[in-house]
Amino acid sequence: MGLRKSLVVVAALATAALVQAPAQGQERGVTVFHGATVIVGDGRPPIENASLVVEGARLLQVGPSAQVRAPVGARRVDLAGKTVMPMLIDAHVHTSATAEALTEDLKRRPTWGVSTVMSMGTDPFTVLPMRARAIPGAARYFSAGRGITRPEPGRTTVPFWINTEADARAAVNELAGQKVDLVKVWVDDRGGMFPKVTPPLYTAVIDEAHKHQLRVSAHIFTLEDGKGLLRAGLDALAHGVRDRDVDDEFLAMVRARPNLVLNPNLPARGVRTDLSWLAGGLPAAELQRLEAENTDRPAAVQEPYLLQARNLAKMSAAGVKVVLGTDGNTPWQAHVEMEDMVLAGMTPMQVIVASTRNGAEFLRIADAGTLEAGKSADFIVLDANPLADIKNTRRMSAVYLRGEAIKPANAR
């Protein structure tokens, strides 16, 4: 993890979309972004008429413009009328399995405002060295490496397929040797198609992981497995409960575990939505395909979302730490998930905190997730305030990753 702290990228100011061309020698100079409403990302009320002072890849100061003192000669960028928020952290993705394709995945993320991804269990060990590579314009990459499941012939063969507690411990030992960022375990029989990781097996996984100071995140489906995993010391839920409404016993278990993290990964709502914000951000043929599927589905298709939305609202009210996850490799999906979380009953501010600071804390990134002095200059400039309508996170006028301007994918 220490290597990632050296991810210092010289700001490519000459190509910045919203700033004047810098004088020579100013490439690592200071820029003051002033006049915006700033959402810090930690849940405090937004700062009106704020200034962000950026030097190279770092935030030097963030605060009300009247209190921020910029160095003489700093370049100034007027953001009056804009809202600035931290870049998003997507804590549940499945990125590509080769270095070349993964690099493309990681470069696409910032164009949609995502600074960081955590790949959850489908990565061969050969791509793990990519975590330490500083790729200009690319999102930070975290990985659980190979996840752990029972034999699932016909599904991906990347994960460990375990049958015994000895298998479970051996798998975790290999993962520890690879210094994965988390251990991922799937506890799901996929509708009765496969044997499921049993309580003795997941208990062995969690016990062995904790011996190595590794945390465990579980893909679950049922409430019963959720309870069993929490009793066994699970650290994070990679999905919400999906078979029934959570009960008081489960919520009491959640309240008793203040460090538990929930990655809701809500399913599609099954209703027609406005996709016009994607225009220009993806190939026309792909947008056409999405529009063809963009229909109101029967109530039976919509029910999984409604169930998981009710469970998310209850878990959030119980105080669980929620993070953002999209469970796939679609770079713009974070914006859809944020809307789905708000429609489930979380406030826009709660969802923004989940998608920024909470993600950084979950991934133990000390220098991202909020807009504060000393942090990485990873922020999104929005044309409208997402606290008024969470869909405004899609209206990106600029993105700055480590102080470097990135053109938003859907910029008009």
CA distance 275 to 113: 17
Which one-letter DSSP state was computed for residue 367?
A: T
Closest distance between Zn ion and the C-beta of residue 78, in Å? 42
CA distance 130 to 97: 11
120 vs 237 by CB, closer to Zn ion: 120
CB atoms within 10 A of CB 341: 26
379 to each of 75, 85, 375, how far by Cα in Å? 18, 6, 11
Residue 205 C-alpha from the chain's centroid: 24
Closest alpha carbon to 14 in 3, 1, 2, 28: 28
Closest distance between Zn ion and the C-beta of residue 219, in Å? 6
CA distance 277 to 412: 10
86 vs 240 by CB, closer to Zn ion: 240
7 vs 139 by CB, closer to Zn ion: 139
Radius of gyration of the chain (CA): 21
Closest distance between Zn ion and the C-beta of residue 215, in Å? 16
Residue 251 C-alpha from the chain's centroid: 24
Place of tokens 């003795």: 200
57 vs 183 by CB, closer to Zn ion: 183
DSSP E strands, 150-234:
160-161, 183-187, 216-220
Closest distance between Zn ion and the C-beta of residue 15, in Å? 35
Residue nearest to Zn ion (CB): 327
CA distance 393 to 88: 10
368 token code pair: 């991202």
43 vs 304 by CB, closer to Zn ion: 304
Closest distance between Zn ion and the C-beta of residue 293, in Å? 21
CA distance 156 to 166: 22
Sign of CA dihedral 101, 104, 106, 108: negative
327 vs 339 by CB, closer to Zn ion: 327
Binding positions for Zn ion, rule: CB under 5 A: 120, 327
17 token code pair: 């979309």
Helix extents (H) in 178-329: 199-211, 223-231, 248-255, 284-293, 299-317
Closest distance between Zn ion and the C-beta of residue 117, in Å? 12
120 vs 205 by CB, closer to Zn ion: 120
120 vs 377 by CB, closer to Zn ion: 120
The answer to whether the CB of 238 falls within 8 A of the CB of 218 is yes
Closest distance between Zn ion and the C-beta of residue 265, in Å? 7
Closest distance between Zn ion and the C-beta of residue 330, in Å? 12
88 vs 380 by CB, closer to Zn ion: 88
Closest distance between Zn ion and the C-beta of residue 334, in Å? 14
